[in-house]
Amino acid sequence: MSLSNLRAIAAIYKFELHRFRRTLLTGLLVPVITTTLYFVVFGGAIGSRMTEVDGIPYAAFIVPGLIMMAMFTESIFNASFGIYMPKFTGTIYELLSAPVSATETIIAYVGAAATKSLIIGTIIFLTAHLFVDVPVAHPLAMVGFMILIAVSFCLFGFILGIWAQSFEQLQVIPMLLIMPMTFLGGAFYSVQMLAEPWRTITLFNPIVYLISGFRWTFFGKGDVGIEFSLIFVAGMLTICLGIIGWMFRTGYRLKK
């Protein structure tokens, strides 16, 4: 690990956050409006017929899932866009020709994308409080879990941004893979509510473990044990770091 150009990390980090500030209004309004709509549809319409899940009011039950869903999407989008845009506009030449290591590049881009994602996660958390009383059983664990999820999915997004060679490719994995997996990963229901064999099949979806772990930090219980959730997050972090390390070592889709 080589970290001698801290000024480069600061420069990229500030540049990326500046890009976020330019689109601040839409960047913040969209998740707030989306969360509100989910509360109206799921919390209001469906929640009135399904009062409790595992002893938790339904409107409160969906809050961790909503936060996770937004954070998955935002993390992937921000990180992939952050590295894809310089490739698309050609300004990547400056990054590649600068005295910046792969570690510094990842810290800067992923750090900035994770910051944005955490801001949005926090806003959704606060917005949810306008609609429902949400207890947090393990506040420190909740913050830690949010950070881990933001970093893991930003790393995943970063990989996507390097891999993608068109805007369509940039969209295809979040839309066709992550979004359905999130909906089917227990964001709006408990896996325990499913009948067999769907319950067992669902357990092959890694998103289940992430949402369950985050829900545990709120209510002290989840669909699977917290230790399994942590193993999945650690696994995702390791795999993503391994892939990114390989991409920088070989110059995959970065260098000619």
Distance of CA 136 to the CA centre of its chain: 20
Q: Which of residues 22-41 bind other proteins (CB under 8 A)?
A: 22
Shortest CB 172 distance to other proteins, Å: 26
Q: Does 167 bind other proteins (CB under 8 A)?
A: no
**Nearest Cα to Cα of residue 6 among 81, 113, 108:** 108
Those residues whose C-beta lies under 8 Å from the C-beta of residue 95, and which sit 6 or more positions away, are 12, 86, 105
* Options 31-39, 55-63, 84-92, 160-168: segment touching other proteins (CB under 8 A): 84-92
d(CA 110, CA 112): 5
List 21, 26, 55, 93, residue binding other proteins (CB under 8 A): 93
* Options 3-11, 124-132, 187-195, 215-223: segment touching other proteins (CB under 8 A): 3-11
Longest alpha-carbon distance in the chain:
60
Q: Does 10 bind other proteins (CB under 8 A)?
A: yes
| Vertex 127: Cα angle to 121 and 131 (nearest 5) | 135
Binders of other proteins: how many residues, by CB under 8 A? 27
Q: Does 91 bind other proteins (CB under 8 A)?
A: yes
Q: Does 15 bind other proteins (CB under 8 A)?
A: yes
Q: Residue 5: CA atoms inside 13 Å, Cβ hemisphere, count?
A: 17
Binding site for other proteins (CB under 8 A): 4-5, 7-8, 10-12, 14-15, 18-19, 22, 89-91, 93-101, 251, 255-256
